[in-house]
Amino acid sequence: QAKAKGRNTYHFYSQDLDEAANERLYIENELRIAIKAQQFTLYYQPQVNSESGEVLGYEALIRWFHPSEGNIPPSKFIPIAEATGLIVELGAWVLEEACHFSRRLKAAGKTANISINLSARQFKDAQLISTLSDIIHRTGMEPTLLHLELTESMLMGDVEAAIIQLRDIKALGVSLSIDDFGTGYSSLSYIKRFPVDILKIDRSFVKDIPEDPNDMEITAAIIAMAQKLNLQVIAEGVETEAQMAFLAKNNCYIVQGYYYSPPLSEAEILRFAPAM
Ligand code: C2E
Ligand code: MG
Ligand code: MG
Ligand code: MG
């Protein structure tokens, strides 16, 4: 009985593995086509000052509208782009497109920061600084409006190399954020050494406010720590007024999430965003 069941389980398990491997392969092939066929677009999610309602910036989030599969979410294809190295080319496209968007925003009288997610592979790429400075110069992007989002795991490992790379990025005039803060493995003693400007509190801590007292304690502690280290703090995934109010009460005034707005197309932003 047990053996038969075990075999069955194994059978299903290996079938699942096959399916997962096939899907990966399919997405990898489609990714190569998609880059050439320009099936990607960027959406932008407002980062809002909850006290004034002012839009301080936008986070660029990639969207893939596949001709037959429809929308394929980043959680499905970014890890594959990362594993295959395709992310370097795709990421350079994201950077360039977001910088062009920034110029169009400015031309429309709506100057704001633009945050861009960097992948581990891009961050470690020896060409990153020259790619960045090339894109900044070619697009006429104002570098002080450009924010790059990294995660803790990208900074651990070779900490000294990471610090040098961070300094070189900052030397271009660009700001740095730590994304999904609190979910990685970075130790607090390192955070102090990294020349970063902004901590983004991960959505997982915000999600269950005001029901989960632990999450509220952690969130308040991250905000307090950020203040002590002179870092700005942005809360991700703010969906309710109660979450926004808790954050404001604890001195976090910059919020991003469905409560204010989902990621929007450029057309929506140019139509609706108030001029600043
Ligand atoms: P992230 O950088 O942490 O981005 C935030 C994610 O949370 C986005 O998902 C956003 O749409 C979603 N979100 C925003 N507000 C809310 C909310 O109130 N509630 C909920 N439930 N979700 C919210 P998205 O666009 O699917 O992106 C997922 C992840 O994919 C991003 O997480 C980022 O790690 C990665 N990603 C997206 N675009 C790029 C890119 O251009 N390059 C790289 N390397 N990674 C990207
Ligand atoms: Mg991000
Ligand atoms: Mg995040
Ligand atoms: Mg996240």
Q: What is the pLDDT of residues 107-162, one digit of tens each?
A: 999 999 999 999 999 999 999 999 999 999 999 999 999 999 999 999 988 999 99
Is the pLDDT score of 13 beyond 90?
no
Residues with CB under 6 A from ligand 1: 45, 61-62, 73-75, 78, 91, 94, 117, 119, 149, 179-180, 203, 236-239, 257-258, 263
Q: What is the pTM of this model?
A: 0.94
List the residue whose alpha carbon is closest to atom 27 of ligand 1: 74
Q: What is the pLDDT of residues 74-107, one digit of tens each?
A: 999 999 999 999 999 999 999 999 999 999 999 9
List the residue whose alpha carbon is closest to atom 46 of ligand 1: 117
Tell how far the Cα of 61 is from the centroid of ligand 1, in angstroms.
6
User: Strands (DSSP E) along 21-93, which ranges?
Assistant: 40-49, 55-66, 70-72
Instruction: Report the percentage of the chain scoring pLDDT > 90.
Output: 86
Q: How confident is the model at residue 11 (pLDDT cuts 50, 70, 90)?
A: low
Asked if 60 contacts 98 with a C-beta cutoff of 8 angstroms, the reply is yes
List the residue whose alpha carbon is closest to atom 19 of ligand 1: 237
List the residue whose alpha carbon is closest to atom 45 of ligand 1: 117
Asked if 210 contacts 246 with a C-beta cutoff of 8 angstroms, the reply is yes
Is the pLDDT score of 211 beyond 60?
yes
Q: How confident is the model at residue 3 (pLDDT cuts 50, 70, 90)?
A: very low
Asked if 118 contacts 74 with a C-beta cutoff of 8 angstroms, the reply is no
Sign of the C-alpha dihedral computed for residues 215, 220, 223 and 226 taken in this order: negative
Q: How confident is the model at residue 9 (pLDDT cuts 50, 70, 90)?
A: low
Instruction: Please state, rounded to an integer, the average pLDDT across all residues of the chain.
Output: 93
Instruction: Report the percentage of the chain scoring pLDDT > 70.
Output: 94
Tell how far the Cα of 117 is from the centroid of ligand 2, in angstroms.
5
Distances (CA, A) of 137 to 67, 103, 110, 130, 134: 33, 12, 21, 10, 5
Task: Please list the helix, strand and coil fractions of the chain in percent, rounded to the nearest 5, in that order.
Answer: 55, 20, 30
Q: How confident is the model at residue 5 (pLDDT cuts 50, 70, 90)?
A: very low
Structure confidence at residue 14 (pLDDT):
73
Question: Measured between alpha carbons, how far is 45 from 127 in angstroms, rounded to an integer?
Answer: 28
Is the pLDDT score of 7 beyond 90?
no
Q: What is the pLDDT of residues 181-203, one digit of tens each?
A: 998 877 777 888 999 999 999 99
Tell how far the Cα of 252 is from the centroid of ligand 1, in angstroms.
20
Residue 139, both tokens: 């697009």
List the residue whose alpha carbon is closest to atom 42 of ligand 1: 117
Tell how far the Cα of 149 is from the centroid of ligand 2, in angstroms.
6
